[in-house]
Amino acid sequence: MEELVIRDADVVDGSGDSSYRADVVVDGGRIVSIVKEAAAAGCQRPKARRELDAEGLVLAPGFIDMHAHSDLALLRDPDHSAKAAQGVTLEVLGQDGLSYAPVDDRTLGEVRRAIAGWNGDGDDIDFDWRSVGEYLDRLDQGIAVNAAYLIPQGTVRALVVGWEDREATPAELDRMRQLVAEGMEQGAVGMSSGLTYTPGMYAKDAELTELCRVVARYGGYYCPHHRSYGAGALRAYEEMVTLTREADCPLHLAHATMNFGVNKGRAPELLALLDDALAAGADISLDTYPYTPGSTTLAAVLPSWAGEGGPEETLRRLADDATAERIRHHLEVTGSDGCHGVPMEWDTIEISGVGDPALGEYVGRTVQESAALRGESPWALARELLLKDRLRPSILQHVGHEENVREIMRHRVHTGGSDGILQGAKPHPRAYGTFPQYLGRYVRESGVLSLEECVAHLTSRPAARLRLADRGLVREGYRADLVLFDPRTVAAGSTFEQPRALPTGIPYVLVDGRFVIEDGRRTDVLAGRAVRRSPR
C-alpha cells in the first residue's frame, strides 16, 4: 500500500490550466497517481497508509525560489522555516557573483568578509569544501529544502585574477573558463554575476561572453545582477541581452526591477526591450520579489574603485580622511557605480542589520535619521558604521515603485525570487514572505495575477529554466515536492516591523514526499538535497 493519499484537493498543477479536484497519491518520494473527481464519479478511491483531508486547500507544486541567499543558512539552521514555511521546496544559491565555491583558502577568507552582510561571518560553519562539487556534497548530507547552485563569477575572478580592476590575461581567462567548466561538470545549473559588486564588476563584456560560452556548452544559463538598476538600467539590461545572444547562452535576469526616481513608470520600456529580444529568438527569463524596497550591504553602494584590492583595502581607504572624502563625493555628488549611478539619498537607506551588537541602536532607522540624532552628516555616520562593523552592515533601500513591480510580474517570462537576506535584526520581509505575498496580496487581494497563472510563475516556469524534467508540475511520476495552502487566508506574516513572522494559510509542505511543514509547524525532517544540472 502507498504511503500517502491527499484527498479532495483543489489541484493547481503549475501548468497555468484551470484547477481540478483530485485525490493525489504519493509513494517513494514521487506522485504515483492522480484520480480526478473521484468522489463525484463514484469510482473506487485510492487508499494509502495515511490519508490527508485537503478539503478547501489548494495542492500545488512546491515553490522554486530563483534567487536565494541561503548558501550558509541551509547549513547553519536545519529548521530553515524562513523558506520551508512559505512552501519553498527548492532554492537557487550562488547568486550575485559571490559565494563560497570554487575557492582556495585565500579567496574563501576574502569572500567571507565581503558578503558577511548577506550570510554572516560563517564562524559557525565548518568550511570543509573548496570546489562546487564538494559544496553540493555537503548539501547532500541533509537540508530543509532542495538547493541548486550557480557558479559565482566574482568569486571565480577573485580566485584567478584577485580583486584588482584590470583585464584578465589570456592565461587567467583560460583558467576561469576551466573553473566554470569544472563547476558545471560538478552539477552547477549556470553562472551568476554581481556587476555592481567587486570584483565581478571589473570584468569587461568580452570576458563575460567567453565564460557564458562555457556555461551554454553545458546547458546552463547566465544570471546577472547587471551593471545598473538606476540611471543606466535600460542600457544595462540591453547589454546583458546582447552579451548572452553573442554567447548563445540562455539569460535569466536577477531581481529584474526598475528602481530609483529616474525609472518611475518605466517598466513598459524594459518589457518592450525583452519582448523584442524574445521575438528575435532570445532565450530570456527573469525573477522579481513582490515588494518595492531593495536590500544589500552598505558597502555595496561604495564606488567600485574603493573596493579594488578586496575588503581590507576598502577599510584602509575608508580610514584615510582624504580618500574617504573622495568616496563621499562619488556617493553624494556624481553618483557611485555601486549605487547604480544615482546620487545617494540617505533618507532611503535603512540599516537592517549589523555584525556588532553594540551598534544595534542604528538598526531600523535610516542613515539620515541616525545622523540627525547625533548632529552629524549622514556620510560621517555611514563611514563610522562601515569601519566599526568592518563592512558588515546590511541595508534596505527604499527606492522602488509599485507600478513597476506589478507590470513586471505580469510578464510571460516572469518567475519568483525572494532575494532574501536572512541576516540582521530587521531583514527585508521578502526573506520570509515573498511567496505568500504573491498569493495573498497580488492574487487574492489585487487580482494582478490569477491563481493558476501565479502558481505557474512560481513552479513550472522556474523548473523549465533549471531544466528539471520531474519538478514544477503535479504530474504522475514527478517528485512529490508539494505545498497545500488555503487560498482564502494565505498571506505573508512578515512585515517591515516584524520581518521574521511566518506566513499564514500554508499548513502542509512536502519535500521528496515527506512533510517538512505539518499542521502549520516545522517538523524535524531534512529531506532536501542538492539538485544538480541535468545532462544535455
3-class secondary structure, 227: coil
| DSSP notation for 409-462 | HTSTTEEE---B---SSS--THHHHHHHHIIIIIIIIT-SS-HHHHHHHHTHHH
The CA angle 514-520-522, to the nearest 5 degrees, is 55
HSE-CB at 388 with a 13 A cutoff on CA atoms is 13
Three-state SS across 4-54?
A: EEEEEEEECCCCCCCCEEEEEEEECCEEEEEEECHHHHCCCCCCEEEEEEC
HSE-CB at 203 with a 13 A cutoff on CA atoms is 35
Q: What are 251-288's pLDDT values in tens digits? A: 999 999 999 999 999 999 999 999 999 999 999 999 99
**Closest Cα to residue 460, out of 416, 410, 407, 510?**
416
Are the C-beta atoms of residues 451 and 8 closer than 8 Å to each other? no
Q: What are 370-421's pLDDT values in tens digits? A: 999 999 999 999 999 999 999 999 999 999 999 999 999 999 999 999 999 9
Q: What is the DSSP letter of 472?
A: S
Sequence-ordered list of residues with C-beta below 8 angstroms from that of 449, at least 6 positions apart, any chain: 409, 410, 438, 442, 443, 457
23, three cell numbers = 485525490
Question: Maximum CA pair distance of the chain?
Answer: 82
Are the C-beta atoms of residues 490 and 506 closer than 8 Å to each other? yes
Environment class of 396 (CB within 10 Å of its CB; exposed 0-12, middle 13-18, buried 19+):
buried
Higher pLDDT, 366 or 45: 366
The CA angle 466-471-477, to the nearest 5 degrees, is 140
Are the C-beta atoms of residues 509 and 517 closer than 8 Å to each other? yes
Provide the strand spans (E) within 382-480: 394-397, 414-416
Tell me what percent of the chain is helix, strand and coil, each rounded to the nearest 5: 40, 20, 40
pTM: 0.96
365, three cell numbers = 532607522
Percent of the chain at pLDDT > 70 equals 99
163, three cell numbers = 580583486
**In what side-by-side order are the strands of the sheet with 251-253?**
63-65, 88-93, 146-152, 190-194, 221-225, 251-253, 284-288, 414-416
pLDDT reading at 39 higher than 60 = no
The CA angle 68-74-76, to the nearest 5 degrees, is 130
Q: How confident is the model at residue 535 (pLDDT cuts 50, 70, 90)?
A: low
Q: How confident is the model at residue 42 (pLDDT cuts 50, 70, 90)?
A: low
d(CA 330, CA 57): 53
Q: How many angstroms from the chain centroid is the CA of residue 314?
A: 26
Are the C-beta atoms of residues 251 and 217 closer than 8 Å to each other? no
3-class secondary structure, 383: helix
Q: What is the DSSP letter of 202?
A: G
Q: What are 123-132's pLDDT values in tens digits? A: 999 999 999 9
Q: How confident is the model at residue 181 (pLDDT cuts 50, 70, 90)?
A: very high
3-class secondary structure, 41: helix
Q: What are 298-311's pLDDT values in tens digits? A: 999 999 999 999 99
Are the C-beta atoms of residues 191 and 219 closer than 8 Å to each other? no
d(CA 141, CA 159): 27
124, three cell numbers = 559557525
Q: What is the DSSP letter of 84?
A: H
HSE-CB at 402 with a 13 A cutoff on CA atoms is 4
Q: What are 138-171's pLDDT values in tens digits? A: 999 999 999 999 999 999 999 999 999 999 999 9
HSE-CB at 196 with a 13 A cutoff on CA atoms is 27
Are the C-beta atoms of residues 253 and 222 closer than 8 Å to each other? no
| DSSP notation for 104-158 | -HHHHHHHHHHTHHHH---TTS-----SHHHHHHHHTT-BSSEEEEEEEHHHHHH
Four-residue CA torsion sign, 74, 76, 78, 82: negative
d(CA 159, CA 169): 14
Are the C-beta atoms of residues 226 and 240 closer than 8 Å to each other? yes
Mean pLDDT for all residues in the chain = 96
